[in-house]
C-alpha cells in the first residue's frame, strides 16, 4: 500500500495513495533504509486503521511518542489528528514541506514566512489567531510603509497557508479569509526602456555574451535568467525565423512548457554573431548563465551606468515589459502574449505601459492636416452662410441619373394627382 522513495538529495520519503485517490508524500529526511522500512509499516497500519475504523493501541502509543515535526507531517496527509495547540511554526513547516512549486517560487514565499513568525511568534497557537489579529497584521504592514503589492502578496500567501490548515482539518475556519489583500500591481515601478536607451546599453556591454543577454531580454522578451539559461542552439530555426523558449516558470501548466518567438530583426544579428563564435559542439547559447552563483543584476547595473544611464527599478522585468508594450502596437494581443509567454490579464496588470511616446503621438498633427483643414473648411463655411449664393448647376437633374426606379414611381405610379386620391368639391 505504501512505498519508499529517495529524492535527488538522498532523503527518503513514503509514498501512498489516500482513500480519496490522491497521491500523498511523507518526507522522512535523513533516515536509513531499515528505519524507513519500519516507518512504512507504521504508515500502512495507520492507513488500514482508517479503513477499518478499529483503534490499534500500539499505533496510538507510537503516534504519541513521535516528535511534533514528524507528527505534523502525518497530520498533513490525514493519517493523524493535529495535536492540541499546533503552533504557527509547525503549520508553516508542514505547509512548505508539501508546497509543490518551483524552488525559486518557494524562496519568494520565505519573506511571508518570516513576517508571520515575527508578528505572531513561532509558538503562537494557530487556533488563537483571530480574524482581528490577521487584520491588525495587514494594518501594521501598511503603517510600516510596505508597498501595496508586497502587502497583497503576503496576505495572499497567508490566506493559502491557513486555507490549507482548514483542508487538513487543523482549523475550523481561516482567520485570513475576510482580510482584503488588494492589488499586486505596482505601476510606479514600471519603466519604459526606449530604443535610444537600448542602443546605448547594447554598446556598453563588455562582451558578446552580455549583448546576447540584453538582446534576448529587451528584443526577445525572455525571462531572465531562467529562459536564457535553457536556450540551446538547436532551439533556433534560422530558416524559419523563430526560436523555441523553454518556460520553466509555466511548465507545470498544460500546454505552456514552451513557446515560439520570432527572430526579430533587432535580435537575429546578435544571435548569429554569437553562433558563429560559439565553440565547436556548444549546446547552450549562454552556458555561463546556467551557473546560479553568477549575479547578473550586479553586473547589469554597472553596464547601465557605463552607458550613461541611471539604473531603473526591476531591471530585467522592465526590459521584457518594454518589449511587450512595443509589440502590442503592431500585433493582436493574443499573438503578443503567445510570444511573451503570459496572459492578456497579466500583461494588462504588470507589463503594458503608457509611455510619453503615446502622448506625443496623440497630440501631434500631421504636416498636411492644417492646409487640408483650411481647404475643407472654406466650402463648408460658405455653404452655411446665410448670405452665400448657391452655386447654379445648369446640368443638375431633379433626380440622380441612376434612379430609374424613382423615375418610374414619379411618372407612372404616382401621376399628377399626387399620393392622395382627388377629392370632389375641393
What is the reported pLDDT for 359? 81
pLDDT tens digits for range 68-81:
778 888 887 888 87
Query: Is residue 127 within 8 Å of 160, Cβ to Cβ?
Result: no
Q: In what order do the strands lie in the sheet with 12-17?
A: 2-6, 12-17, 23-29
pLDDT tens digits for range 326-346:
999 999 999 999 998 887 787
DSSP E strands, 147-279: 236-237, 242-246, 258-262
**How far apart, in whole angstroms, are the C-alpha atoms of residue 90 and residue 378?**
82
pLDDT at 284 over 60: yes
Return the C-alpha cell found at 367. Answer: 504636416
Distance from the Cα of residue 373 to its chain's centroid: 46
The DSSP-derived string for 315-369 is HHHHHHHHHHHHHHTTS-HHHHHHHHTS-HHHHHHHT----HHHHHHHH---TTH
Question: Kind of pairing, strands 258-262 and 242-246?
Answer: antiparallel
At 355, is the pLDDT very low, low, confident or very high (cuts 50, 70, 90)?
Answer: confident
Domain boundaries in the chain?
1-81, 82-184, 189-358
pLDDT tens digits for range 177-190:
999 877 656 677 88
Higher pLDDT, 104 or 410: 104
At 270, is the pLDDT very low, low, confident or very high (cuts 50, 70, 90)?
Answer: very high
Residue 225 preceded by cis peptide, ω within 30:
yes
Query: Is residue 356 within 8 Å of 329, Cβ to Cβ?
Result: no
pLDDT at 386 over 90: no
Query: Is residue 239 within 8 Å of 233, Cβ to Cβ?
Result: no
Superfamily of domain 189-358: Intergrase catalytic core (1.10.443.10)
**How far apart, in whole angstroms, are the C-alpha atoms of residue 358 and residue 364?**
10
Query: Which residue matches cell numbers 531591471?
Result: 315
Higher pLDDT, 105 or 139: 139
The CATH classification number of 82-184 equals 1.10.150.130
What is the reported pLDDT for 263? 95
What is the reported pLDDT for 319? 94
**How far apart, in whole angstroms, are the C-alpha atoms of residue 172 and residue 195?**
56
Q: Give the closest residue to 338 by CA, choosing from 256, 266, 224, 233.
A: 256
pLDDT tens digits for range 186-215:
677 889 999 999 999 999 999 999 999 999
Give the count of beta carbons closer than 10 Å to the beta carbon of residue 423: 6
Query: Which residue matches cell numbers 560559439?
Result: 278
**For 100-104, 110-114, 318-322, 417-421, which range has the lowest pLDDT when averaged over its residues?**
417-421
Higher pLDDT, 186 or 291: 291
- Cα-based torsion angle of the residue sequence 343, 345, 347, 350 in order, rounded to the nearest 10 degrees: -130
Q: What is the mean pLDDT of residues 290-310?
A: 92
**How far apart, in whole angstroms, are the C-alpha atoms of residue 78 and residue 107?**
26
pLDDT at 136 over 70: yes
Mean per-residue pLDDT of the chain = 82
At 254, is the pLDDT very low, low, confident or very high (cuts 50, 70, 90)?
Answer: low
**How far apart, in whole angstroms, are the C-alpha atoms of residue 121 and residue 96?**
17
pLDDT at 283 over 60: yes
The DSSP-derived string for 132-166 is HHHHHHHHHHHHTT--HHHHHHHHHHHHHHHHHHH
Question: End-to-end alpha-carbon separation of the chain, Å?
Answer: 108
Contact partners, residue 320, CB within 8 Å, separation at least 6: 217, 221, 222, 223, 224, 340, 351
Contact partners, residue 122, CB within 8 Å, separation at least 6: 87, 88, 89
pLDDT at 230 over 50: yes
At 375, is the pLDDT very low, low, confident or very high (cuts 50, 70, 90)?
Answer: low
Query: Which residue matches cell numbers 392622395?
Result: 420
What is this structure's pTM?
Answer: 0.55
What is the reported pLDDT for 327? 92
Return the C-alpha cell found at 313. Answer: 527599478
Backbone dihedral angles phi then psi of residue 405, each to the nearest 5 degrees: -65, -35
Helix (H, G, I), strand (E, B) or coil at 250: coil
Amino acid at each position: 500500500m505504501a512505498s519508499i522513495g529517495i529524492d535527488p538529495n538522498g532523503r527518503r520519503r513514503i509514498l501512498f495513495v489516500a482513500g480519496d485517490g490522491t497521491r500523498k508524500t511523507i518526507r522522512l529526511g535523513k533516515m536509513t533504509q531499515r528505519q524507513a522500512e519500519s516507518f512504512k509499516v507504521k504508515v500502512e497500519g495507520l492507513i488500514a486503521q482508517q479503513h477499518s475504523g478499529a483503534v490499534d493501541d500500539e499505533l496510538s502509543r507510537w503516534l504519541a511518542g513521535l516528535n511534533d515535526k514528524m507528527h505534523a507531517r502525518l497530520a498533513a496527509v490525514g493519517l493523524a489528528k493535529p495535536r492540541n495547540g499546533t503552533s504557527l511554526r509547525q503549520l508553516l513547516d508542514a505547509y512548505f514541506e508539501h508546497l509543490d512549486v518551483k524552488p525559486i517560487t518557494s524562496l519568494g514565499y520565505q519573506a511571508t514566512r518570516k513576517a508571520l513568525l515575527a508578528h505572531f511568534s513561532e509558538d503562537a497557537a494557530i487556533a488563537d489567531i483571530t480574524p482581528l489579529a490577521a487584520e491588525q497584521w495587514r494594518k501594521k504592514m501598511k503603517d510600516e510603509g510596505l508597498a501595496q503589492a508586497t502587502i497583497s502578496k503576503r496576505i495572499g500567501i497567508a490566506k493559502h497557508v491557513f486555507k490549507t490548515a482548514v483542508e487538513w482539518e487543523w482549523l475550523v475556519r481561516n482567520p485570513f479569509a475576510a482580510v482584503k489583500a488588494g492589488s499586486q500591481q505596482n505601476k510606479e515601478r514600471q519603466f519604459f526602456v526606449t530604443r535610444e536607451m537600448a542602443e546605448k546599453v547594447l554598446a556598453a556591454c563588455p562582451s558578446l555574451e552580455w549583448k546576447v543577454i540584453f538582446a534576448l531580454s529587451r528584443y526577445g522578451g525572455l525571462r531572465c535568467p531562467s529562459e536564457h539559461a535553457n536556450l540551446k542552439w538547436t532551439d533556433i530555426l534560422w530558416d524559419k525565423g523563430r526560436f523555441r523558449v523553454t518556460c520553466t516558470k509555466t511548465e507545470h501548466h498544460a500546454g505552456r512548457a514552451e513557446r515560439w518567438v520570432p527572430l526579430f530583426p533587432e535580435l537575429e544579428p546578435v544571435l548569429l554573431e554569437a553562433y558563429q563564435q560559439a565553440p565547436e559542439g556548444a549546446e547552450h547559447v549562454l552556458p555561463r548563465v546556467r551557473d546560479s552563483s553568477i549575479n547578473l543584476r550586479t553586473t547589469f547595473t554597472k553596464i547601465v551606468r557605463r552607458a550613461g544611464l541611471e539604473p531603473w527599478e526591476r531591471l530585467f522585468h522592465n526590459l521584457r515589459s518594454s518589449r511587450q508594450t512595443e509589440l502590442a502596437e503592431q500585433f493582436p494581443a493574443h499573438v503578443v502574449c503567445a510570444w511573451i509567454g503570459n496572459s492578456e490579464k497579466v500583461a494588462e496588470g504588470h507589463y503594458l505601459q503608457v509611455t510619453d511616446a503615446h502622448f506625443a503621438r496623440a497630440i501631434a498633427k500631421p504636416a498636411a492636416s492644417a492646409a487640408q483643414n483650411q481647404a475643407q473648411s472654406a466650402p463648408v463655411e460658405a455653404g452655411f452662410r446665410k448670405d452665400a449664393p448657391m452655386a447654379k448647376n445648369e446640368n443638375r437633374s431633379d433626380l440622380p441619373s441612376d434612379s430609374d426606379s424613382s423615375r418610374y414611381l414619379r411618372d407612372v405610379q404616382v401621376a399628377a394627382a399626387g399620393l392622395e386620391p382627388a377629392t370632389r368639391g375641393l
